[in-house]
Amino acid sequence: MRRREKFVLVALILSLLLFVTQVVDISFRYVAITVFAVVTYLLSSWALIEDLQKHEYFTVLSLPTFYALSIALFNLFVPETWVSRVVLFVFFALGMYAILLSSNIFSVAKARTIQLLYAAQTISLFFTLIISFLFVSIIFVLKLPVWLTVPLVGVTHFPLVFSSIWSINLNSKLDRQELTIALLPTLVVMQFSLVFCFLPLDDWLIALLVMSLLYLYLNFTHSYLKGRLFDNTIKEYLMVAASIWVLMITFFPGK
């Protein structure tokens, strides 16, 4: 079976399993979602097994696994209508296929330079931001204590951030410098989440602010690792950051 056929098959199977997690008895739903995440990890590793190295079981497989988990948890808060479910399942299937394609490019590109690497990095960044938005929305909707909210934000973001940073240089092993660099945006996101716990902001707005912050930080870090962090680039990032915060404060006060 060719790789693209594997990716299509995995995306379809996981879409069906996602539907199953929503129709099981409510008392078993969180268990079903946990099993769903584990199955996603196993099926993704099977689809990408030909080029996976040991460290890539963490770096490459984090994105599809966390994507499946975030969608399944977010689906608990989506209105139970067939239209909303169909739209979500179609989005999930297409997204999973795109993530598997980009993950495959990362596995192949470590051995040789390919032109699709930039596209794969863009896709990976896009879904990293989507997953961040979903996780933060879910965590704040649950209205958990602060001492539990902030660590959950960190746990759900560190693997995503590290995977995104690793995709720039595609090192053949887990690099201590990249691990340290990944800790910085994770800690920043956790600190802002702590502040947002005490502000009267809507849950979706908090998730949007965290996602915007992560977008700026990851782009800044990517430019640094690529050796493209010029003065003009820094000014552009600062202008974008200022614009986002001004718009949020002006039009979405969270009242």
Q: How confident is the model at residue 111 (pLDDT cuts 50, 70, 90)?
A: low
Distance CA(189)–CA(20), nearest Å, equals 33
Mean pLDDT computed over every residue of the chain: 85
15, two tokens: 């879409």
Other C-beta atoms lying within 10 Å of the C-beta of residue 198: 8
Distance CA(165)–CA(61), nearest Å, equals 14
* pLDDT (tens digit per residue) in 36-92: 999 999 999 999 888 788 888 888 899 999 999 999 999 888 777 777 778 888 899
In the chain, % of residues over pLDDT 70: 93
Asked if residues 197 and 150 have their Cβ atoms less than 8 Å apart, the reply is yes
Asked if residues 190 and 153 have their Cβ atoms less than 8 Å apart, the reply is yes
pLDDT for the residue numbered 216? 86
Which residue from 155, 101, 105, 106 is spatially nearest to 131, judged by alpha carbons? 155
Which residue from 74, 71, 76 is spatially nearest to 93, judged by alpha carbons? 71
Distance CA(66)–CA(16), nearest Å, equals 17
Who wins on pLDDT, 79 or 211? Answer: 211
Name which of 2-11, 20-29, 224-233 the model is least confident about.
Answer: 224-233
Each domain of the chain, given as residue ranges in start order, spans: 3-251
On the question of pLDDT at 253 being above 60, the answer is no
Read off the pTM: 0.90
On the question of pLDDT at 252 being above 70, the answer is no
On the question of pLDDT at 32 being above 90, the answer is yes
State the SS3 of 62-113.
Answer: HHHHHHHHHHHHHHHHCCCCHHHHHHHHHHHHHHHHHHHHHHHHHHHHCCCC
* pLDDT (tens digit per residue) in 174-183: 777 888 888 8
DSSP string covering 227-241, please? T---HHHHHHHHHHH
Other C-beta atoms lying within 10 Å of the C-beta of residue 243: 10
pLDDT for the residue numbered 255? 47
Residues shown for the chain: 255
